[in-house]
Amino acid sequence: MQESKRTIREKRTVRKMMLIYCHHHHQTTGEIICPDCNDLLNYANQRIEKCPFSPDKPTCKNCTVHCYAPKKQEAIKNVMRFSGPRMMWHAPWLVIRHLLDGRKDEERIEVYLKRKKTNI
């Protein structure tokens, strides 16, 4: 199955946030991140790929299903807390798209729940 534009954009956003976090906390440079951050990025990508709301997944902040393991969830929250405010300087277009995607979340969740009801 081909990935949706939304899924590709979500992965790109998480990767950019991970780069910002890892560069500052682990002194990496360029497109390289440390093994721990790489593991977390791979885990986040797996969660994005397996999202039950795909292809129209909501932003994780507004999601009704929390699919991360507790330790991974705390780690990704730390990355997002640090990188989120800095994203405007590093990737403003991703921030704008993420904010626009977030405004559509309620509608996406309703569509998913209706679809799920009819399949029961």
pLDDT, tens digit, for every residue of 60-117?
777 778 789 999 999 999 999 999 999 999 999 998 988 887 777 677 667 767 777 7
pLDDT classification of 120: cutoffs 50, 70, 90: low
Torsion sign (Cα): 59, 30, 86, 36: positive
Q: How far apart are CA 82 and CA 66, in angstroms?
A: 20
Domain assignment of residue 53, given as a range? 5-119
* Whole-prediction pTM: 0.83
Q: Tell me what percent of the residues of the chain surpass a pLDDT of 70.
A: 94
Closest CA to 96 of 86, 108, 88: 88
**Angle (CA) 16 47 71, round 5°:** 85
pLDDT classification of 1: cutoffs 50, 70, 90: low
Residue type, 56: D
- Give the count of domains, the chain: 1
**Cβ count within 10 A of residue 85:** 11
